[in-house]
Structure 1
Amino acid sequence: MSQATREQVRARRATPRRGAVIAILLITAALTVIVLLGGIPGLIGTGIAVVLPWLGFALVPLVVAALLIRPRTAWITAVPLVAWTMALWGFLPVPWQGDPSAGDHGLLIATQNVEAGSGTGAASARTLADGGAGILAFTELDADSGSAIADELADSYPHAYRVGTVGVWSRYPILDEEALDLGLGWKRALRVEVDAPGGAVSVYVVHAASLRPGAQSARDGMLSALGERIRDDKSARVIALGDFNAVSTDPALSPIAGALGEVRFGGIGPSFTWPASFPVVRIDHVFQRGYPSASGRTASAGGSDHLAVVAALGG
């Protein structure tokens, strides 16, 4: 075989590899840009935040392909991987974290969107109360579910406050209570001060406005107003929990996440909360400040389309 022929053969073999390398570089650049755009407030940031956890499934084959095709330049694929990890750092589970337990001088709390019309509010309340929570917060209450929960918890949770579609039931005395509309025009959130173990704690329960394409200003406005209220709250201990209709990395949650830390979950899964039958996003959260330790998990309760969130706050 002549030298020219050998060079032609090598060129034909190299062409597909060069094409694959170029494709990997383009995909790497695209994924990096997508992750970075997730910090933009509004529709773009919200949309990317929803799919961001799932982008991890695209990063794994990308890294493997790069290692197989061009090992020397495979490090480039680490760029979107690092960006993805940093964007999701506060959301990623902590594998070594155990199951939430109140422990000594701790506080166990639980929250769930009970789904209006599901007719299973009492079942949700019973299940979560049996788990030992000291404070229970429910959202998307209608007249029937609110009454059913009140009847179910009347003896074991004598302290309660309900406003519109949200309510809180406590084993511990409620010292102060306030209804909040957060700019929505009607009450869909509340604040109570609870005389909990270890000292008084300010508890915010919120059911954020629904998120619909092209109409998210009501939700964003509520979350911004809640963040402002929390920043102005001088309490040593503060908890905000409920259905925020926003995933952990949504820029709309920044006003709250900037004042409080989201309770991290244990295990190796992402602990999504909706829909309960096949969870793909986490829109139900617990945020807190003032507790040195915090751990959370999801729980099935009643027949709602949301899983409940249970959190232990200690210290």
Structure 2
Amino acid sequence: MPDRQTAVASPKPPTRSPVRRRRKGSMWRRGWLIAFLAVLSALPLLFHRWVPNSIGNLGSLLDTFLPWVGLAVPILAVAALVRRSATAGVALLLPTIVWGLMFGNLLIPGKGGGAYDLRVLSHNVDAANPDPQKTAQDLLQADADVMALEEITAADMKIYKAAFAEEYPYEVSRDTVALWSKFPVEESKSVDVGFKWTRALRAEVSTPEGKVAVYVAHLASVRVGASGFTSDQRNDTIKALGRQIADEKLAGVVVMGDFNGTATDRSLAPLTAGLRSAQGAAGYGFGFTWPAKFPMARIDHIMVRGVTPTKAWVMGDTGSDHRPVIAELRI
């Protein structure tokens, strides 16, 4: 009797779970609102120069706090993870890349370096400073060769002069701005930036490596009120100082002070044209200086021409509403 052949059923190919397939597809279908907000957050970065100043100086206000627009990225990234949205994740690449191209160079470690010839410091010491003696002692710890101070009252000037007399034999002051130097100051003069009182000066500092023109300036403040972000007076002082620096004959130029504006503010262009930011060239991070308790903007600057920044940083809180900025320069 012939053997019966037992029919062996061929195995069925594995089938994907419809639930899993739907879940995978939904990763691309969900989170469109987050994706839209991600693209929207890139627009101020891409087109901030197109925002006009004609209405409340909104353009300059956006320029001032532009790096903070990037905060939208981690916030939306968390939302995208919660929603498990692949669409939102891809959309977030746009503001991430744009922000990185604009500000990523500030976060690159190891810039600058090498020997330096001159260490400079600038600080708005605050007219309402409750303890200028402590501020003076903090500044002495920086061991700068040249110090520029702004917003000094007549009473506080006596305190700073007494505190710095031993370490800094050369001093130049004009109303609310002053300069102290370990190296000889061969000549100095007031710089007219359009105020009734002097808020800027120029000094020729004779370093062992040669003369350097040092400008100390406290530009007009900006105001935020019902009419918006007003900066007309500050912009006039920027133009006035910028014209004089452009005409400077010495090759080495250092411009320090409280500019009441960030390097990204378009209104500072008449002053910063041809100058190099020490922080941008040789510092790490944004170097925010104001307000001192929680710095959100860098409005205190050290700008140079004809010298090379090798290091730049921001000091801690000294009791002022600003933080001091320091740079080491090779002449």
Q: Aligning the two structures, in what range does the TM-score lie when normalised by the shorter sequence?
A: 0.7 to 0.9
The residue identity in structure 1 corresponding to 2:60 is T
Question: Amino acid of the residue matched to residue 46 of structure 2?
Answer: L
Q: Which residue of 2 aligns with 1:155?
A: 166
Q: Which has the larger radius of gyration?
A: 2
List alignment gaps of at least 5 residues for structure 2.
1-17
Matched-pair contact (CA < 8 Å) for 1:177–1:192: yes
Residue 240 (structure 1) shift: 0.7
Partners in 2 of 1:35 and 1:273 — Cα distance? 22
One-letter code aligned to 1:84: W
Letter of the structure 1 residue corresponding to residue 131 of structure 2: T
Give the secondary structure class of the aligned counterpart of 2:262: coil
Q: CA deviation at 1:308?
A: 0.8
> Which whole-Å deviations, capped at 9, do the CAs of 1:208-239 have from their partners, x for residues lacking one?
11110243101111122222222221321111
Shift in Å, 1:68: 5.3
Aligned match of 1:311: 327
Q: How does 1:38-77 map to 2 (within 5 A)?
A: 38-39=48-49, 42=53, 43-62=57-76, 65=80, 69-70=85-86, 76-77=91-92
Q: Distance in 2 between matches of 1:234 and 1:53?
A: 35
Alpha-carbon distance between aligned partners in 2 of 1:135 and 1:305, rounded to the nearest angstrom: 21
Once residues 165 and 102 of structure 2 are traced to their aligned partners in structure 1, the CA distance between those partners, rounded to angstroms, is 43
Does the CA-based 8 Å contact 2:284-2:313 persist in structure 1?
no
What is the Cα deviation at residue 19 of structure 1?
Answer: 5.7
Relative to 1, partners in 2 of residues 1:305 and 1:170: Cα closer, same or farther, differing over 3 Å? same
* Among candidates 228, 235, 249, match of residue 220 of structure 1: 235
Q: How far apart are residue 52 of structure 1 and its match?
A: 1.8
TM-score by length of 2: 0.79
Out of 285-294 and 59-68, give the one that drifted further. 59-68
Give the CA deviation at 1:142. Answer: 0.4
Q: Does 1:120 align with 2:131?
A: yes
1:284 and 2:294 aligned: no
Q: Secondary structure at the match of 2:279?
A: coil
Question: Which residue number corresponds to residue 3 of structure 1?
Answer: none
Say whether 1:30 aligns with 2:40: yes
Residue 202 of structure 1: aligned partner: 213
CA change 1:41–1:149 in 2 (3 A) is: farther
**Which segments of 5 or more consecutive residues in structure 1 lack a partner in the other structure?**
1-5
Report the AA paired with residue 95 of structure 2: P
* Match for residue 185 of structure 2 among 174, 181, 191: 174
* Shift in Å, 1:89: 5.5
Number of residue pairs matched by the alignment: 300
Aligned residue number for residue 242 of structure 1: 257
RMSD across aligned C-alpha pairs, in angstroms?
A: 3.0
Q: 1:224 to 1:19 in 2, by over 3 A?
A: farther
Q: Whole-Å Cα distance in 1 between the matches of residues 201 and 190 of structure 2?
A: 5
SS in 1 for 2:156: helix
User: Which aligned pairs between 1:85-164 and structure 2 lie closer than 5 A?
Assistant: 85-88=100-103, 92-97=106-111, 103=115, 106-164=117-175
Query: Which of 181, 204, 209 is the equivalent residue of 1:193?
Result: 204
- 1:30–1:142 distance in 2 versus 1, CA, 3 Å: same
